[in-house]
Amino acid sequence: MQHLFAQLTNNPSLIQLTLFGTIITSLWIVEIKIGASPFAPKFKRTQVNSLFILSALPVQLLFAILTLSAARLAAQHHWGLVYLLPNADEPIIKYGLMFIVLDLLDYVYHRTMHFVPAFWRFHLLHHTDLAVDVSTTVREHPCETIIRNGFLVFWIFLCGASVEILMIRQAAETVINISSHSSLRLPRRIANVAGFLFITPNLHHAHHHFQLPATNRNFGDVFSVWDRVFGTFIDLPRDETVFGLDTHMDGQIDRHLIKYVTIISEFFRGLRRARLNQI
C-alpha cells in the first residue's frame, strides 16, 4: 500500500482533476437522461457556474502544492495532535481516526462560513443558485476558495494529517460532494438508510433551501453524524424544498454572471475568427 501511495502522490493534482472531471461530467449527463432536465436552461446555468472554474482551478493547483508540503512537513517533524497518541502510525489511527477528525473539522469550517459575517459574504454566492445540480458544486467565490484551502492547511498542522489520508479523503469528498449537489434524489427508504451515516442529495438539498432554519442545517461534508450530534440536522421533503437564498431570489447575480460569460464567449469567438482569417 505504501508503494501505491508513493506512486499516486507523484501526480496528486492530476488524479484529483481527473476524478473530479469524470464524476461531475458523468452525473451531469445522467441528470439529463434520468432527471429529464431540459437541456437549454441546464446548459445555460452550467455555463454560468463553470465561470468559477477559471478562478478556482489555479488557486486549487497552488494550494494542492501547499497542502502536500504542509502534510510532509507535519510528518517529518511530527507536528499535530495525532502524534500525542501512542502508535500514531498504526493504520487505524493514521487513516481511520484521521479521516473522521478531518470530516469533523470540515463540518466546523462549513458552519463557520455561515456564522461569521465576513465569510458568509463570500459563501452566500454558493447558495444563490436557484436550481441546484452538479454544476453548483463549482459555484464558489474565489475568496472562499482561498479561505477553504487556508483552513485545510491549518487543519493539517493542527492534527498532523498525512499525504496519504489527504488523498483518500479528497477522493471520498469529491464523490460525496458532487453527488450531494446532484438534482437526482435517492428513493425515500434508501435515503433514510444512507443518510443515517452519509450526506445524501436529499439532505444537502435541504441545506440549499432558501429560508432559515434549513439554510443553517446539514453542514456535514461526508458524514451526517455531526449534524445529529450538534443539533443541526434537518430532513426536508422535496415538495417543501425551494432552492436559492431569500435575500437574493431575483436572479440578479446570475444576470451579472451571464454578462461575463457573454464577454468571454465573444472573446474566444473573436480569436477563432482571427485564426480562420489567417488561414
Please name the residue ranges forming H helices in 160-212.
163-180, 188-194, 201-207
Question: Looking at the domain assignment, is residue 14 inside a domain?
Answer: no
pTM: 0.88
Confidence of residue 228 (pLDDT cuts 50, 70, 90): very high
Q: Which residues of 185-213 are buried (b: 16+ CB within 10 A; e: fewer)?
A: bbeeeebeebbeebbbbbbbbbbbbbeee
- Judged against a pLDDT cut of 60, whether residue 3 lies above it is answered with no
Q: What is the predicted pLDDT for the residue at 185?
A: 92
- Which three-class secondary structure state does DSSP give residue 218? coil
Q: What is the predicted pLDDT for the residue at 80?
A: 94
Confidence of residue 130 (pLDDT cuts 50, 70, 90): very high
**pLDDT tens, position by position, 243-267:** 999 999 988 888 888 777 777 666 6
Torsion, CA 128, CA 62, CA 169, CA 146, rounded to 10? -40
- Which three-class secondary structure state does DSSP give residue 162? coil
Q: What is the predicted pLDDT for the residue at 274?
A: 67
- Judged against a pLDDT cut of 70, whether residue 276 lies above it is answered with no
- Judged against a pLDDT cut of 90, whether residue 230 lies above it is answered with yes
Q: What is the predicted pLDDT for the residue at 12?
A: 64
Question: Looking at the domain assignment, is residue 74 inside a domain?
Answer: yes
Q: What is the predicted pLDDT for the residue at 278?
A: 67
Q: What is the predicted pLDDT for the residue at 179?
A: 95
- Which three-class secondary structure state does DSSP give residue 144? helix
Question: Looking at the domain assignment, is residue 259 inside a domain?
Answer: yes
Quote the number of domains for the chain: 1
Strand partners, 223: 198
Q: Alpha-carbon distance 172 to 58, whole Å?
A: 22
**Among 5-14, 35-44, 134-143, 182-191, the least confident range:** 5-14
83-87, 104-108, 264-268: range with highest mean pLDDT? 104-108
Question: Looking at the domain assignment, is residue 155 inside a domain?
Answer: yes
Question: Looking at the domain assignment, is residue 31 inside a domain?
Answer: yes
- Judged against a pLDDT cut of 60, whether residue 2 lies above it is answered with no
Question: Looking at the domain assignment, is residue 80 inside a domain?
Answer: yes
Question: Looking at the domain assignment, is residue 149 inside a domain?
Answer: yes
Residue-number span of the structural domain to which 169 is assigned: 21-278
Question: Looking at the domain assignment, is residue 3 inside a domain?
Answer: no
